């Protein structure tokens, strides 16, 4: 199994380009199920999750081509309505095909995604919303079966602004009869981008990006062309990497307006961040970094997907920080790995107290999930000696060329098989 080997102590310096947003591209691909014609998406990241979504769509009868950050999706002559366990298990975001399938085919059979390493990840809000739109749903034997004689627009109030539920309902409502209002909708930029894409397909959506989304149903949608927005979490990950290495990095292609809370929190702990002509400049060379408090919240609050990377950063900042995780119930599983690297962190329920240490120490660790994996790599960048990160298939799911991009900034990181790891020596 491949692993990353990081030799700590190099300051990151230079420019890095941010790719397309994973959590937008995956949903746009599912939305292609709603259209009659060919959809072409550009700026799609070349990552494992996108390949899995391509497999899901192919299984449903769509022809999918993925070359050079462009995905072309064309409906085949017969569409199938079943997303099997073997694919949903690999990527729980596959459940996003439920809404489009019901809307398009009147029936869907999708494996229950189950929990994962960050929480139990319920889908009750997806189900309640689809039922309100006129779907009969039964859950049993590990599958959700959904059927409708025709979706009808209605008012839906989400108990929690779930990203996936908002997206599933938004897509289903596009082909429902009449008007749907989703209240307490998630406001993530990826949802606004999905609505832009759906509107290009012929949908009539307003308010996406706010907590009230209105959808006037239409009888059919066509294919469309769309350029996926930049990945704010990839951007935030490189900003945190620059900060932990006490380096100076320029991000190209990121949207500062989608990174408000991340920029604010970096500045609060002493990192200088400037935005000039579409570039974001992160400079951690001048100030001493100090501890701060962070609570994760749905957008525009501090992103739960940036919590592990900031934990790594705060583990090296002077003083005490508190991190409160409000979105997922078990997103502190990687903390034990950071502690093995010398971090001084205590967790209780959904809160962590982090006491900064002068330097982390390199150690062999395992990535329990995507963002925690990225956080452990980042921790390794600043650690004394060598950090070996195993289970990096989690990182491959969501970061394209993570090691290449870090190397281009001066990091000493290599991707190796088990046998090769012994040849590396610690420097610095
Ligand atoms: C999306 O997951 C993202 N995934 C996650 O990114 C991200 O962490 C999350 O939104 C929050 O921002 C994709 O877009 C593919 P939710 P999603 O529904 O849609 C509870 C990454 O690393 N909930 O907003 O699954 C749920 O249990 C990934 O890129 C219900 O209770 O997130 C959780 O505690 C990881 N009932 C909270 O809401 C429901 O029906 C947020 O979940 C749905 C959700």
pLDDT tens column, 387-415: 999 999 999 999 999 999 999 999 999 99
Q: Calculate how far, in angstroms, residue 415's C-alpha sits from the geometric centre of ligand 1.
A: 30
State the closest ligand 1 atom to the C-alpha of 23, by its place in the atom list counted from 1: 14
- For position 427, what pLDDT does the model report? 33
The pLDDT confidence band at residue 330, using thresholds 50, 70 and 90, is confident
CB 107 within 8 Å of CB 143 = no
pLDDT of residue 115: 64
> What is the CATH topology of the domain spanning 22-227?
UDP-n-acetylglucosamine1-carboxyvinyl-transferase; Chain (3.65.10)
- Centre of ligand 1 from the C-alpha of residue 162, in Å: 6
**How far is the C-alpha of 109 from the C-alpha of 125, rounded, in Å?**
17
Q: Could you report the per-residue pLDDT of 103-143, keeping only the tens digit for each? A: 999 999 999 886 677 777 789 999 999 999 999 999 999 99
Report the distance separating Cα 197 and Cα 29, nearest Å. 10
Mean pLDDT within 302-307 = 98
- Which one, of 314, 372, 363, 311, lies nearest residue 342 by Cα? 363
CA atoms within 13 A on the CB side of 236: 28
Atom of ligand 1 nearest to the CA of 186: 24
Q: Whose CA is nearest to atom 37 of ligand 1?
A: 327
Atom of ligand 1 nearest to the CA of 120: 27
Indicate the average pLDDT of the chain: 95
Structure tokens at 234: 């990839």
Find out whether 323 and 331 touch, Cβ atoms under 8 Å: no
Number of Cβ atoms within 10 Å of the Cβ of 206: 12
Query: Which atom number of ligand 1 is nearest to the Cα of residue 127?
Result: 40
* CA distance linking residue 229 with residue 22, whole number of Å: 9
pLDDT at 170 over 60: yes
Report pLDDT for 329: 87
- In this structure, the residues whose C-beta lies within 6 A of any atom of ligand 1 are 22-23, 26, 93, 119, 121-126, 160, 162-165, 186, 304-305, 327-328, 370-371, 398
CA of 33 to the centre of ligand 1 (A): 22
| CATH code reported for the domain at 3-19+231-416 | 3.65.10.10
Nearest CA owner, ligand 1 atom 30? 122
Mutation choice for ligand 1 from 28, 120, 164, 191, CB with most ligand atoms inside 8 A: 164
pLDDT for 421 beyond 70:
no
Residue nearest to atom 7 of ligand 1 (CA): 305
Ligand 1, atom 5, residue with closest C-alpha: 305
Helix 22-31 to helix 163-174 angle (10° resolution) is 30
CA of 29 from ligand 1 middle (Å) equals: 18
pLDDT reported for residue 121: 78
Strands 272-276, 279-283: pairing kind: antiparallel
Q: What is the pLDDT of residue 117?
A: 77
Query: How much distance in Å is there from the Cα of 256 to the middle of ligand 1?
Result: 23
pLDDT at 419: 53
Q: Check if 116 is active-site.
A: yes
Residue 351 has pLDDT above 90, yes or no: yes
Nearest CA to ligand 1 atom 1: 163
Measure 397 CA to ligand 1 centroid, in angstroms.
Answer: 16
pLDDT at site 365: 98
pLDDT of residue 422: 42
Nearest 5°: phi and psi at 412?
Answer: -100, 95
Instruction: Write out the residue limits of the CATH 3.65.10.10 domain(s) in the chain.
Output: 3-19+231-416, 22-227
Q: Which pLDDT tens digit goes with each residue over 368-391?
A: 999 999 999 999 999 999 999 999
- Whole-angstrom CA distances from 78 to 21, 105, 147, 258 are 30, 10, 18, 39
């Amino acid at each position: 199994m491949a692993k990353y080997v990081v030799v700590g102590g190099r300051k990151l310096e230079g420019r890095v380009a941010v790719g397309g947003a994973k959590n937008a591209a995956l949903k746009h691909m599912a939305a292609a199920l709603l259209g009659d014609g060919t959809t072409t998406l550009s700026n799609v990241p070349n990552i494992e999750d996108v390949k899995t979504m391509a497999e899901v769509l192919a299984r449903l009868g769509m022809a999918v081509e993925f070359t050079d950050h462009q995905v072309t999706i064309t409906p085949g002559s017969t569409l199938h309505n079943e997303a099997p366990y073997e694919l949903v298990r690999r990527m729980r975001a596959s459940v996003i095909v439920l809404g489009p399938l019901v809307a398009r085919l009147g029936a869907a059979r999708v494996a229950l995604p189950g929990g994962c390493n960050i929480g139990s990840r319920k889908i009750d809000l997806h189900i309640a919303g689809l039922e309100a739109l006129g779907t009969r749903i039964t859950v049993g034997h590990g599958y959700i079966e959904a059927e409708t004689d025709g979706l009808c627009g209605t008012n839906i109030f989400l108990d929690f602004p779930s990203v996936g539920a908002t997206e599933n309902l938004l897509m289903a409502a596009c082909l429902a009869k009449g008007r749907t209002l989703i209240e307490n909708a998630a406001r993530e930029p990826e949802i606004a981008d999905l609505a832009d894409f759906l509107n290009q397909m012929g949908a009539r959506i307003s308010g996406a990006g706010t907590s009230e989304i209105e959808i006037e149903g239409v009888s059919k949608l066509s294919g469309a062309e769309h350029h996926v927005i930049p990945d704010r979490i990839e951007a935030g990950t490189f900003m945190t990497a620059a900060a932990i290495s006490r380096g100076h990095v320029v991000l190209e292609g990121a949207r500062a307006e989608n990174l408000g809370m991340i920029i604010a929190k970096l500045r609060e702990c002493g990192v200088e961040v400037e935005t000039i002509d579409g570039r974001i400049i992160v400079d951690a060379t001048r100030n001493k970094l100090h501890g701060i408090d962070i609570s994760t919240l749905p957008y525009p609050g501090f992103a739960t997907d940036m919590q592990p990377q900031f934990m790594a950063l705060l583990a090296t900042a002077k003083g005490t920080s508190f991190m409160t995780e409000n979105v997922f119930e078990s997103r502190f599983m990687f903390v034990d790995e950071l502690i093995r690297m010398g971090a001084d962190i205590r967790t209780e329920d959904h809160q962590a107290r982090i006491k900064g240490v002068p330097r982390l120490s390199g150690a062999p660790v395992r990535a329990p999930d995507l963002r925690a994996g990225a956080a452990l790599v980042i921790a390794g960048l600043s650690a004394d000696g060598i950090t070996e990160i195993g289970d990096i298939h989690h990182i491959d799911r969501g970061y394209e060329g993570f090691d290449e991009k870090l190397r281009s900034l001066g990091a000493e990181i290599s991707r190796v098989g088990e046998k090769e790891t012994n040849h590396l020596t610690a420097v610095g």
